[in-house]
A and B are shown apart, each in its own frame.
Chain A
Amino acid sequence: MLKRLFLLPALAAALVTACTSPDTAVRLPILGERDVRPRADGGPADTVFARVPAFRLTNQAGEVITNQTFAGKAYIADFFFATCPGICPKMQGELLKVYAKYGKDPRLAFLSHTIDPAHDSIPVLRDYADRLGMGAARNWHFATTGAKGEPAAKDSVFLLARAYYTAAEPDKQAPGGFAHNGTFALVDDQGHIRGLYDSLNPKEVERLMAELPILLAEMDTRKPAVARQ
């Protein structure tokens, strides 16, 4: 009995430490499907989380960008098109707010995919970036799947949008459709989707801005040698 009394404060202290440690207190969930793979050696099974599928895009500067472009970085992805008269201006305006706060952080990038590759050529994307005031930004990519007039460019981007968003909600169709639902996807340095945020809801954008530092801090624990800003 006496032994148990001694253990109680130790247990309480351990719990307090566990709950307040900056490195372990909060972690964003990894969204999407997961695959549990048994190990050949009989040890505990490995859990493999879904990642953003491989992509090859071209940005407003005519540069090819792939998953490797974002290796070691977090990025925020969205889907838009240049002539969109509806939600896109509001959505990109909200992303500008995030950019204004975090845009200079080298650990973060932005990726806006056009869902109208037939119209949104590289010059159109460049003009779009300019009009958004992001013409000189190197870490905000306005990208297309159809820089060379690929006939399946639109199919590709719709599949990509579906992959980003159904990864988190496989059984739920977003009210605005996957490619036009105004959702931001937060992707970590390993290609896992760590958050989805409705850009048309100010509280959701606030949540993104609150959760972004949590992800960046987690990434820092994986790269302790990287200089922090």
Chain B
Amino acid sequence: MKTIFDGGLRASAYLCSVNILSKSRLVSVVSAIAFLAACSSPNKPIAEQGAPSPATAAEMAVMARHDSLMAKMDQLYSLKAKINAAKAPASGPYLRGLAAADAAMMDWMHQYRAPDSTATPSARLAYFQQQQQVLAGVSRQFRATIDSATLFIQQLPAAPASAATPSK
């Protein structure tokens, strides 16, 4: 049975050579997390963990970009709340832009299927590189829509103070 942890632990499973699926579910999860902490502690310099393979490095880069974009989701929703609160005419395109950026990110996540460990290294590398390109497009969309919405809000006569504060 596929577990939730397949995706998140894949890179660590490579590094640690642990097959987390071969044990009972809960024990395997907890054990795998313990191994994760030991093998790929975020506090541990990557040099001490050994250089990741090109495919693993590419996967990590995809995850880093994903996390970076997810951090901006708050910004999308904060801007949306401010625009809605302002009840300004002509806000439609900005709200639609923010919604489209949100949808692009969620669509990416819903279609993302990292190849499992049986895939060849070159196939894995190609997949992650291709996903990185898709995310680069989402990233551009985020930047454009956030910049436009921010500018729109700044140009409003007097934004209500009660609206949520935008993220940095």
Contacts and interface: CB of A to CB of B under 8 A. Distances in A.
B100 to A, nearest CB: 14
Contact of B77 (A116, A155, A200): A155
Nearest to B34: A97
B67 A176 contact: yes
Contacts of A159: 77, 81, 164
Interface residues of B, number: 41
Contacts, number: 115
Main secondary structure of the interface of A (DSSP, over half): loop
Nearest to B102: A154
A201 interface: yes
A89 B26 contact: no
Contacts of B32: 93
Interface in B3-20: 3-5, 7-9
A94 interface: yes
A39 B41 CA distance: 51
B136 interface: no
Contacts of B74: 158, 161-162, 173, 177-180
Contacts of B71: 174-177, 180-181
Interface of B: 1-5, 7-9, 25-26, 29-30, 32-33, 36-37, 41-43, 63, 66-67, 70-75, 77-78, 80-81, 102, 106, 109-110, 112, 114, 164, 167-168
